[in-house]
Amino acid sequence: MSNDWYPAELDGPEWVRPAEPPCPACPCHTLRVCTGKVWHLARPRHEGCPCEAAAIAADTPPASRQVTITVAGVTRTVTAQAPAVGFGAGLLLTPHVFAANGEHTTGPVPAAMVLAPATARTPADLIALCDKGQRWAVRLTASYGGREVAIGGWLDA
Ligand SMILES: [Zn+2]
Ligand SMILES: [Zn+2]
């Protein structure tokens, strides 16, 4: 049996669907998947796509906690951010309510405190308590201008 009757002009490479343009921000998906946020439909399912992680972080509002902190003998309760995902996840981030000094500062500068969950080794006088009853470690070093400063008290105390 011969295929001689087959028109010659249809010979050639098999028709291939044009490739979707890749996403410029991740190595795993096409642009259509990431701009449409349809990662759950992509096959195979990729774990750890940076576009998907960024979208989840953006859609998750940071929770806040009331945390009671004692610094320089003065105890106050402040509202701290408690991010569930992304930068600072698992930590408490206070507003800039502390006064700090560093070798590169002239006079006290406003500083925010980052509190990590307290451990068995956290000294009792460096423990802060949040409204969820969790114990947090007071951290008396902060960052100002990209360099370390020491928290010495409250800004307006
Ligand atoms: Zn992407
Ligand atoms: Zn991706």
- Each residue of 35-82: pLDDT tens digit? 999 998 888 888 889 999 998 878 777 789 999 999 999 999 999 999
pTM higher than 0.85: no
Whole-number pLDDT of residue 14: 62
| C-alpha to C-alpha distance for 142 and 151, rounded to whole angstroms | 7
Whole-number pLDDT of residue 2: 46
- Please state whether 139 falls in left (phi above 0), alpha (psi between -120 and 50) or beta: beta
In this prediction, residues 14-21 reach a mean pLDDT of 72
| C-alpha to C-alpha distance for 77 and 124, rounded to whole angstroms | 17
115: CA distance to ligand 1 center in Å? 33
- Please state whether 35 falls in left (phi above 0), alpha (psi between -120 and 50) or beta: alpha
Whole-number pLDDT of residue 17: 65
32: CA distance to ligand 1 center in Å? 9
Lowest mean pLDDT across 71-75, 93-97, 111-115, 142-146: 142-146
Lowest mean pLDDT across 17-21, 27-31, 88-92: 17-21
| C-alpha to C-alpha distance for 48 and 42, rounded to whole angstroms | 13
Q: How much of the chain, in percent, has pLDDT values that exceed 90?
A: 65
130: CA distance to ligand 2 center in Å? 37
| In the block, residue with structure tokens 């114990």 | 135
Task: Mention every residue, 6+ apart, whose C-beta is less than 8 A from residue 27.
Answer: none
Q: How much of the chain, in percent, has pLDDT values that exceed 70?
A: 89
Q: Which residue has the higher pLDDT, 5 or 26?
A: 26
Q: Which residues surround ligand 2, an ion (CB under 5 A)?
A: 26, 28-29, 49, 51
Neighbours of 2 (CB within 10 A): 5
Proximal ligand: closest to the CA of 27? 2
